[in-house]
Amino acid sequence: MDALKAGTSAPEFSLPSTPDQRVALSELRGRPVVLIFYPADWSPVCGDELALFNELRDEFAKFDASLLGISVDGAWCHTAFAKDRGYHMTLLADFEPKGEVARQYGVYRSKEGVCERALFVIKPDGVIHWSHVSPIGVNPGVDGVLHALESLPRSAS
């Protein structure tokens, strides 16, 4: 299964961000969206990767970009994880049906039952602008995402 490539329309989803709230991709139309698929809450590598995105929220704000972390962990788990690590970004639970959104984006590892470590930058019009899949143990850093956001066509907004 290959990750969706640039030029593909980003599949719509609506996932829980907390035990009683949901976020739909279509709600974010009109601004860039960064999807950060990661294998699991609590594993040290993921923590580092999200820590870096969390640290650079001001940089992403310059692009008016929404950052969404996605894993197959449940909303309660995400809430505890974000609180423990001091993360302020939205973490979405691709929990039921498990991994359905990751499958749509071509980044589900069915053998292990987790998401790939994958990044997508989605343009304000909902089309994928850039995607990248890292080896599961490698923190991809954020420079690729920053470059992708910089190369977005300037919107008229």
Partner 1 sequence: MSLTIPVGADDHIQGPETAPITLVEYGDYQCPYCANAYVIVKRVQHQLGPLLRFVFRNFPLSQVHPQAELAAEAAEAAGAQSMFWEMHDALYENQPALSPALIGALAQGLQLDMERFEKDLASRRFREHVKRDFMGGVRSGVAGTPTFFINGERYEGSWDEPSLVNALKATA
Distance CA 18, CA 79 (A): 7
Given the residues 46, 122, 142, 148, select the one marked as catalytic: 46
Residue type, 147: H
Residue 116: CB atoms within 10 Å: 21
d(CA 154, CA 123): 10
Query: Which of 6-14, 63-71, 112-120, 140-148 is the region at the interface with partner 1 (rule: CB under 8 A)?
Result: 140-148
Piece of 10-18, 34-42, 80-88, 96-104 that binds partner 1 (CB under 8 A)? 80-88
Give the per-residue contact string, 28-67, with partner 1 (x = CB under 8 A; - = no). -------------------xxx-xx-xxx--x--------
Percent of residues in the chain assigned helix, strand, coil, to nearest 5: 30, 30, 40
Q: Is 93 in the site for partner 1 (CB under 8 A)?
A: no
Q: Which chain residues interact with partner 1 by CB under 8 A? A: 47-49, 51-52, 54-56, 59, 85-88, 139-143, 146
